A and B are shown apart, each in its own frame.
Chain A
Amino acid sequence: MSGPFTILGGGVCGLAMAAELSSRGARVTVIDPKGAPGGHACSWWAGGMLAPDCEGVSAEPEIVRQGRKAAGWWESQGAAVHHAGTLVVALNRDQSDLATFARRAPRAATLPKTQIAEQEPHLAERYSKALFLADEGHLDPRATLTALHARLAQRGVRFGGDIAGQVIDCRGLVARDTLTDLRGVKGEMLVVRCTDVTLSRPVRLLHPRFPLYIVPRGDGVFMLGATQIETGERSRATLRSVMELMNAAYALHPAFGEAELLEIGVDARPAFPDNQPRIRRIGDVIYANGLFRHGFLLAPALAQMTVDLVLEGKIPEVWYEDYRER
């Protein structure tokens, strides 16, 4: 057995790192002062969309490439990934946004009303055109993190204890104490229950100012997200943000007007200036951070590359910075 390794932080980054290391037989300790997965990690508030094509419309190509590894990796770790694709719609007056999106997401298929009806009957009442990304998937972040935590404990990963061996720092925004170019990007989200609408897959509503995604969690529960504000504030969901999310949901389908509001969530995503993650060596510590809005999408690739580095000495193909020489 190789190791030991100590992972700081038990959010999606830290747990994915622990999973990858322990899968390859390494001894791992995860230290997170807050204990089990929960609202202290920004991944708790995530959408859980594994949607590289949709993200690629505005994100760098490398994020798309690395993100394609996510669904398979999560399944290899026992997570329930729904392979139902993503549906993208726009209100009538924003059809030009749909055209732009289609142009920038080469894998998007255009669905006419009849085919929307086959996929999402409730949306066919309102939309005559949609884009469909068949290869995309989604998972439930909270269920996934909680199950992975339990699975890792069973596998012999220790939670809590003393720092020993190689330290891999996955503390997200908290690591700003060392990673001075890391910044927070605030996000607000809602969880609602709505029994009048059924959706089988994540739906994105394009809007020039209030873009929205809705991810079905089953039992009539939906996650609505997410704002993206350039501030490191991790609390204080504002009325304006919540109102915008609600408005967008109501515009997507008026039946959401009768939804029960279950939860208002807020946190800040850790991001580097190019909004791409990093594996960074500073002194003896390796930092894996900056997953931005792509926690579940990119944590697998980031973990695989980091573990290749620490176990096999293989230099990561992207996102690697060695500060030891500086």
Chain B
Amino acid sequence: MPTFYGTEVTSRLMLGTAQYPSPAVLAEAFRRSGAGIATVSVRREAGGDQAGQDFWALIRDLGVAVLPNTAGCYSVREAVTTAQMARELFDTNWIKLEVIGHADTLQPDPFGLVDAAAQLAEDGFEVFPYCTEDLVLCEQLVEVGCKVLMPWGAPIGTGLGLNNIYGLRSLRAHFPDIPLVVDAGLGLPSQAAHALELGYDAVLLNTAVAKAGDPAAMAQAFGLAVEAGALAARADPMDARDMAAPSTPVFGKAML
């Protein structure tokens, strides 16, 4: 199982906690999927007087590791402040860092992300940056102290899957020793399995489960898919080839 900042987690599936029909359905989705990490947003829920504590208590009751995030932050300062608040609320140095650069597509702001990651790492945070699959950006994030990278598969909430397989593959090849998590854009379990087959350590998703007609069943499907993908990656998959390769010899034909 993947190890993030020295902590080995119990599952390769990480689930967001927004948009479920109810906290009860959310809990059932975690139970059936075996997800090991719950991400939770605090920016908007904190209210004037940390009035979101009822919901946060429900998240703590899930019994999984909590990864607070800075969802909804558009500036470095906002993200840093939110991270500091999250550290107090959840008593963890972990922070999933989102600095959104584009309101419509929710695309990360790579420049702000590096800036915020540097500040937070300096302040003792263990940063999980939500980034694009850009190699240069990822190098800089590692340079400022990130020991996990979370490139998107596709923009948040689209369900488009892995948009740039080449980019994700080269990222894996370039950072063989850094835990890599595909974060955002997944719509189907097969896409999650694919990410694991590419050698990724885990996936993080929310909408695909929360907005399914039966979120708990879909969560379970994702749980099975990441297991299948991880198993496949360890099994040394065959390499694809252009020629058909019959598994029994074909008699009476010339072998080319």
Which listed segment binds B: A119-127, A226-234, A318-326?
A: A226-234
* Complex Cα gap A276–B22 (Å): 9
Q: Does A161 contact B (CB under 8 A)?
A: no
Q: Could you tell me if B21 and A60 are in contact, using CB atoms closer than 8 angstroms? A: yes
**A58-B21, A274-B24, A276-B22 are known contacts; what are 7 more A-B pairs with Cβ within 8 Å?**
A229-B44, A230-B55, A233-B48, A236-B48, A238-B44, A274-B22, A275-B22
Name A's B-contacting residues (CB within 8 A). Answer: 58-60, 100, 103-104, 183-184, 186, 208-209, 229-233, 235-236, 238, 240, 271, 273-276
Inter-subunit contact B157/A208 (CB<8 Å):
yes
Q: Tell me which residues across on chain B come within 8 A of A230, comparing CB atoms.
A: 45, 52, 54-55
Interface: B47 (CB within 8 A): yes
> Residues of B contacting A233 with CB < 8 Å?
47-49, 51-52
Residue of A nearest to B58 (CB): A273
Q: List 19 A-B contacts (CB under 8 A).
A: A59-B21, A60-B22, A103-B213, A183-B54, A183-B55, A209-B157, A230-B45, A231-B44, A231-B46, A231-B51, A231-B52, A232-B52, A233-B48, A235-B48, A273-B23, A273-B27, A273-B58, A274-B23, A275-B22
Closest A residue to B24 by CB, please name it.
A274
Task: Please indicate the chain A residues that have their CB under 8 angstroms from the CB of B52 in the complex.
Answer: 230-233
CA distance A60 to B23 in the complex (A): 13
Mask: chain B, 1-33; 1 = CB below 8 Å from A; 0 = not:
000000000000000000001111101000000
Q: Using Cβ atoms and an 8 Å threshold, which residues of chain B touch A208?
A: 157, 207
* B55 with A186: CB separation less than 8 A: no
CB distance from A70 to the nearest CB of B (A): 20
Given contacts A208-B157, A209-B157, A236-B47, contact A231 B55 (CB under 8 A): yes
The answer to whether A104 and B25 have CB atoms under 8 Å apart is no
Bound complex: CA A304 to CA B175 (Å): 63
Residues on B with beta carbons closer than 8 Å to the beta carbon of A100: 211
Assuming A183-B54, A232-B51, is B21 touching A273 (CB within 8 A)?
Answer: no
Q: Is the interface of A mostly helix, strand, loop or mixed?
A: loop
Tell me the bound Cα distance from A9 to B35 in angstroms. Answer: 41
Distance A58 CA – B211 CA, assembled complex (angstroms): 8
Please determine whether B47 and A186 come into contact, CB atoms closer than 8 angstroms.
yes
How far apart sit A229 and B51, CA to CA, in the bound complex (Å)?
A: 11
- Which residues of the partner chain B approach A235 to less than 8 Å between Cβ atoms? 48
Minimum CB distance partner of B49 in chain A: A233
Contacts of B213 in A (CB 8 A): 103-104
With CB as the reference atom, state the residue of chain B lying closest to A96: B159
Q: Are B45 and A273 in contact (CB under 8 A)?
A: no
Nearest Cβ on chain B to A13's Cβ, whole angstroms? 19
Chain B: CB-nearest residue to A276:
B22
A300 to B213, CA, bound (A): 27
| Nearest CB in chain B to that of A182: its residue | B54
Q: Which A residues lie within 8 Å of B58 (CB)?
A: 183, 273
Question: Could you say which of B47, B55, B211 has the most chain A C-beta atoms within 10 Å of its C-beta?
Answer: B47
C-alpha spacing A238/B43, complex, angstroms: 12
Q: Which residue of B lies closest to A241 (CB)?
A: B44
CB distance from B89 to the nearest CB of A (A): 12
CA–CA, A233 and B23, complex, Å? 18
Q: Please, how many angstroms separate the alpha-carbon atoms of A155 and B213 in the complex?
A: 45
CA distance A274 to B27 in the complex (A): 10
Q: Nearest Cβ in chain A — how far from B190, in angstroms? A: 18
Give chain B nearest CB distance to A149 CB in angstroms.
Answer: 29
Q: Which residues of A contact B46 (CB under 8 A)?
A: 231
Please give me the residue from chain B that is nearest to A232 by CB atom. B51
**What residue of chain B has the Cβ atom nearest to residue A97's Cβ?**
B211
Q: Are B22 and A273 in contact (CB under 8 A)?
A: yes
User: How far, in angstroms, from A184 to B57 measured CA to CA in the complex?
Assistant: 13
- Return A72 CB to nearest CB of chain B, in Å: 26
Q: Which residues of B lie under 8 Å from residue A58 when comparing CB positions? A: 21
Q: Which residues of B contact A60 (CB under 8 A)?
A: 21-22
Instruction: Verify B22–A232 contact, CB threshold 8 A.
Output: no
Nearest to B56 among chain A residues (CB) is A230
Taking the closest CB of chain A, its distance from the CB of B23, in whole angstroms, is 5
Distance, CA A235 to CA B49, complexed state (A): 11
B46 to chain A: closest residue by CB: A231
Cα of A112 to Cα of B44 in the assembled complex, Å: 39
Query: In the complex, A235 Cα to B45 Cα: how many Å?
Result: 13
A8 to B21, CA, bound (A): 29
B13 to chain A, nearest CB (A): 22
